[in-house]
Amino acid sequence: MINLSGLGDPVLLFHGHEMYNLTERKLGEALHETQQISADTFLNTPTEDIIAAMTEKHSLESPVLKRDEAYIDGPHEIELRIPDYGREIHLRGTLLGLVVPFDGEGGMFYVNPNRYGGAPRGNLHNNNLILTVKGENLQTAHVNQQFEARLNEIDEYLSFQRTLAKAHRDNLPGRLRPEIEARKKKLLDARKMVAGLAFPIRERNDLPKTYVAPVVRKKVVTFSTPTAAAFEPEPVLEEANYQAILGIIQSMALVMERSPSAFHGMGEENLRQQFLVPLNSHFEGAASGETFNFTGKTDILIRVRDRNIFIAECKFWSGEKGFIDTITQLINYLSWRDTKAAVIIFSRNQNFSGVLGTIQEAIPKHPNLKRGPTKEADTRFRCVFGNPSDQNREIILTILAFDVPKP
């Protein structure tokens, strides 16, 4: 039971703080925090993961009234003091309280969502909003009408607040990304500069190597499995080249669709060979004429410094389980930073649209999926997976599905 008389007079809600000032402060806190992450952890953590953590921590959550759980507290007999031409009349009256539980940050009830005029009044007690009505001869219909009107007014304020809070959350990634990328570039440029100096510079061995996010009321935000090792620049496949590779694979698949008789008897290995020829005719490796090689029976890959930075796995469609197993097998091959990969699915099912639907449903079920799938074309889906041993190491994986003729 809540002691209504101990709450004091109802206070103005949505008064005291401006929403614009609060969102700007939260942005400033997020920008400052990204600059405080240790250099090695900052470089070892994918940009999108930093953005996601900062967005989650520094966004705003407006309360949601649980009106279906509201209940009446009272009636309580009270003394009414009514001013009357310089004197005060004392009468016996009734006090009723409407206790409305809510989810979210209670402090947001004191934030003005850019609305000016007569703000509603109420009290907060733990995670409850309390509205009160008092009078000498209260009537049921009048009390119900007052409570309903005030709840509707408060919900309207919260609705305006949510619109601004959503805009703030949506804008945070765009405001954070340039600052994060600029710091990463500055750190990498500095390390390249130091590597070229004639005199070696030793790093202090007492510097912290990991970042632990502070505990916040809303949610504890940490970067999964922070990488303690010093960051070392690693070979990457540029996005433009990756897109060009995918384009060539897609173009070759169109050739197969248009000339089915030439490919109808081929298995996975022979179909894979059809992609190697145009790929090597478009790209030249640094050490040899052939950039693309293969290992095992179905892989197309690029290796740099004994590391795979691109792998394409070619498989005939065998159902959802086989598809998920193929992704697992592929990401276990790839432990290098910013590695890009592709799964090329050949389908000889009559219901190819059903295969595409199953692919889209199956991708989110994989335990290592971080983002996606993003549909880039009718039969092409881009995803980001975390390496099973270190979620900070990301694998960009594109699934390409093709309808090939039956033998």
Q: What is the pLDDT of residues 74-92, one digit of tens each?
A: 788 777 777 777 777 777 7
Number of domains making up the chain? 2
Angle between helices 47-58 and 19-36 (to 10 degrees): 140
**189 located within any domain:** no
Instruction: Point out the domain boundary residue: 130, 147, 174.
Output: 174
For residue 43, give Cα distances in angstroms to 182, 234, 239, 247, 402.
Answer: 12, 11, 19, 30, 37
Q: What is the mean pLDDT of residues 353-361?
A: 91
Same-domain pairing of 167 and 264: no
Same-domain pairing of 156 and 258: no
pLDDT more than 70, % of the chain: 79
Higher pLDDT, 97 or 78: 97
Residue from 288, 274, 406 nearest 349 by CA: 406
Candidate from 150-159, 251-260, 276-285 with smallest mean pLDDT: 276-285
**192 located within any domain:** no
Q: What is the mean pLDDT of residues 271-282?
A: 76
Please determine, for residue 182, whether its predicted confidence score (pLDDT) is greater than 80.
Answer: yes
pLDDT at position 177: 93
DSSP assignment of 147-190: HHHHHHHHHHHHHHHHHHHHHHHHHHHHHHHHHHHHHHHHHHHH
**188 located within any domain:** no
pLDDT at position 104: 87
Write the DSSP symbol of residue 261: G
**284 located within any domain:** yes
Please determine, for residue 363, whether its predicted confidence score (pLDDT) is greater than 90.
Answer: yes
Taking the C-alpha atoms of residue 230 and residue 228, their distance in angstroms, rounded to an integer, is 7
Same-domain pairing of 252 and 166: no
**Domain housing 150:** 4-174
Q: What is the pLDDT of residues 5-28, one digit of tens each?
A: 667 788 889 888 899 999 999 999
H/E stretch holding 131: strand 128-135
Q: What is the mean pLDDT of residues 188-216?
A: 50
**36 located within any domain:** yes
pLDDT category of residue 204 using cuts at 50, 70 and 90? very low
pLDDT at position 245: 85
| pTM to 2 decimal places | 0.63
* Residue spans of alpha helices (H) in 259-319: 268-282
pLDDT at position 154: 92
Same-domain pairing of 145 and 264: no
Q: What is the pLDDT of residues 121-152, one digit of tens each?
A: 988 888 899 998 887 787 888 888 889 999 99
pLDDT category of residue 175 using cuts at 50, 70 and 90? very high
Instruction: Point out the domain boundary residue: 132, 154, 174.
Output: 174
